[in-house]
Amino acid sequence: MTSIQKLIAVLAELKSAFVGKDEIIDLLGISLVAKENAFLLGPPGTAKSAIVRALSDKIEGGNNFEYLLTRFTEPNEIFGPFDIRKLKEGELVTNIQGMMPEASMVFLDEIFNANSAILNSLLMALNEKIFRRGKETYKLPALMFVGASNVLPEDEALNALLDRFLVRIQCDYVEPDLLHEVLLAGRELEKRGKGQGALVSIEDVKILQTECKEVDLSGIREQYVNIVHNLRNTGIKVSDRRAVKLQNLIAASALVCGRDKAVTSDMWVLKYIWDTEEQIEVLEGIINAIIEKDEGHDRPHPQAMFNKVPDAEEVLKDINELSKKWGDENLTYDERNIIKDKLRYLQSRCDWIKNGEKKQYIHKEIETLWQKILQTV
């Protein structure tokens, strides 16, 4: 089997074990190939830790490091303590055995509990894959860092930490209809031992990370530049640094699909670069509208073609809520722009409603709200 075939087999096995989590697993696979960090946001019990742990166990030949951060976590707990024997000789040497500096896969749970004592070291590790302490400098072998939290950061200092995770994935409980399958799959997962089933080696992952850099992006670069400008105009921050790194995700999508050239549909990954939960729907609307116009290229990524059919009643409910919010005289300029962006998103989603009568009615409601907005402006 080729390296990409091994990874696809691993991802397929994880999807069968974690029912309803295909999106999360595919995005972790893309992040691994792109050698970019991923962040999971969601309440306890949504299998965030279990999925990352299962993926780590499927990578042969490396060490995994997993840690639950608290406000009192010290640098020694993450990077390793000073070597006592060397310390007696007057040398400051870190004992990194079994710690993050020698791990191939790193998972940091509740990462926004990071305190100032470890924050700077974490930022450097996440961004540059380097750990420095005194005269020591370690080049970290991590294939990917994954962070997780129940909430987004409120402290400005911690926003820099979120910025180090290129991919942001929202995790939620599975649909009620899938609960029966979840229970069965969960039992099977508990029976299965570590290191069984499909596996991919560290060497395979490194080969894929190298091949990812060779994927041809010339065919979509102009379109990508336009998207970046569009997102910036919408109020979604895409720095030059992030714009450069996001190309790795697009290339990874193409590689996972068995292509050496990126196509329009590979830009589905751009739906996962939000800073706030309010931006999630806005990004979906913008990116879905673009990839739906793809000219039918072969082998698109499954997630690119996945577009949930909207519930007409839910869409109408959202429109009514936006209409009520618009009536608030105390809305700020940014809040008014968010309402406009959400309305554009709902307008694009309306096209997917199958019932023609309901679709027509909702379109009228959307048009009424737009008229209301234009009159206010």
Give me the CATH number covering residue 29: 3.40.50.300
Same domain, 338 and 294: no
d(CA 225, CA 229): 6
Report if residue 198 sits inside a domain. Answer: no
360/350 Cα distance (integer angstroms): 9
Pair 296, 317 in one domain: no
Q: What pLDDT shows up at residue 328?
A: 84
Last residue of a domain, one of 265, 285, 304: 304
For residue 377, the model assigns a pLDDT of 59
Q: Is pLDDT at 271 greater than 60 in this prediction?
A: yes
285 and 334 assigned to the same domain: no
Same domain, 292 and 329: no
170 confidence band (pLDDT: 50, 70, 90)? very high
Q: Are residues 328 and 279 in the same domain?
A: no
Who's near 196: CB < 8 A, 6+ residues apart? none
Q: Do 99 and 117 reside in the same domain of the chain?
A: yes
Neighbours of 21 (CB within 10 A): 23
- Asked whether residue 40 is domain-assigned, the answer is yes
Is residue 294 a part of any domain in this protein? Answer: yes
How many independent structural domains does the chain possess?
A: 3
Mean pLDDT of the chain: 86
Q: Nearest to residue 39, comparing CAs of 184, 195, 216, 162?
A: 162
Residue 155 in any domain: the answer is yes
248 lies in some domain: yes
| Same domain flag for 232 and 175 | no
Report d(CA 312, CA 362) in Å as an integer: 8
- What one-character DSSP code corresponds to residue 140? -
Chain segment 68-94, per-residue pLDDT in tens: 999 999 988 998 887 666 665 666 677
**Residue 152 — pLDDT band, cuts 50, 70, 90?**
very high
**The most confident of 36-50, 154-168, 199-213, by mean pLDDT:** 199-213
Q: For the chain, what percent of residues have pLDDT higher than 90?
A: 46
Domain match, 15 and 114 both: yes
Q: Is residue 39 part of a domain?
A: yes
274, 304, 334: which is the final residue of a domain? 304
pTM of the entire predicted model:
0.79
203/199 Cα distance (integer angstroms): 12
CA dist., res. 295 & res. 133, Å (int):
52
Is 201 part of any domain? no
For residues 27 and 40, give the distance between their C-alpha atoms in angstroms, rounded to a whole number: 10
User: Do 47 and 187 lie in a common domain?
Assistant: yes
pLDDT band at 295 (very low <50, low <70, confident <90, very high): low
Residue 205 lies in a domain: no
pLDDT at 193 over 70: no
The DSSP line for 274-288 is -SSTHHHHHHHHHHH
351 and 276 in a common domain: no
Looking at the structure, do residues 167 and 47 belong to the same domain, yes or no? Answer: yes
- Residue 349, domain extent: 312-376
Consecutive H or E run containing 347: helix 333-350
Radius of gyration of the chain (CA): 23
Q: Same domain, yes or no, for 102 and 240?
A: no
* Contact predicate 262/250, CB 8 Å: yes
Which of 273, 304, 335 is the last residue in one of the domains? 304
pLDDT of residue 268: 94
At 120 the pLDDT is: 86
Cβ partners under 8 Å of residue 316, min gap 6: 361, 362, 365
| Averaged pLDDT, 315-328 | 88
CB contact at 8 A, 172 and 23:
no
